[in-house]
Amino acid sequence: PTLSFIILSTLNIFPYMQSKANSILDAQKSRGLEVEGNILVKIKSIIPLIAPLLFGSISDVEQRALALEARAFSTPGSKTSILKIKDSLLQRIFRIIVLIFCLLLILYRLIIYEFFIK
C-alpha cells in the first residue's frame, strides 16, 4: 500500500497543481493582471503565480502528511484490533429480533401500499 500511495499521489499532484494554478490565475485576472498578449506578457503573468502556488503546495503537503500520520500510515504491523470480541447470546438474540422486526415493517408497508394506496 505504501508504494502504490506514493506513485498515485505523485501522479495525482499534476492535475491538482494545474487546477490550483488556473484558479490562482483567474484570481489574478480578476485583480487586473494582464495574462493575454505576446510571450513577454505571458511570462510576466506567470511570476505572480509562483509564490501562491508554491506556498499552497507546501500547505497541502503538510495537510496530507498530518492526515497520513493520524491514520497511522507509517506504523508497521497490522492496523486492526488484536482481540476479537464475540457477541453475547443476548446481543445475538436482540440482533435477530431487530432484523425480524425490520423485515416485518417492510412487509407491512408493502402490503398497505398494495391494498390501500393503489
| Each residue's pLDDT tens digit, 50-60 | 888 888 888 88
Q: What is the DSSP letter of 116?
A: I
Q: What is the DSSP letter of 77?
A: S
**Residue 3: pLDDT over 80:** no
The answer on 57 and 14 residing in a single domain is yes
Task: Write the CB contacts of 57 (distance below 8 Å, at least 6 apart in sequence).
Answer: 17, 20
The answer on 114 and 61 residing in a single domain is no
- How many structural domains are present in the chain? 2
| Each residue's pLDDT tens digit, 5-50 | 778 888 888 888 888 888 888 888 888 877 777 788 777 778 888 8
The answer on 96 and 40 residing in a single domain is no
What pTM did the predictor assign? Answer: 0.49
Share of the chain above pLDDT 70, in %: 89
Inside any domain, residue 77: no
Domain span at residue 12 reads 2-70
CA–CA dist 67, 21 (Å, integer): 24
- Predicted local distance difference test score (pLDDT) of residue 35: 74
pLDDT band at 93 (very low <50, low <70, confident <90, very high): very high
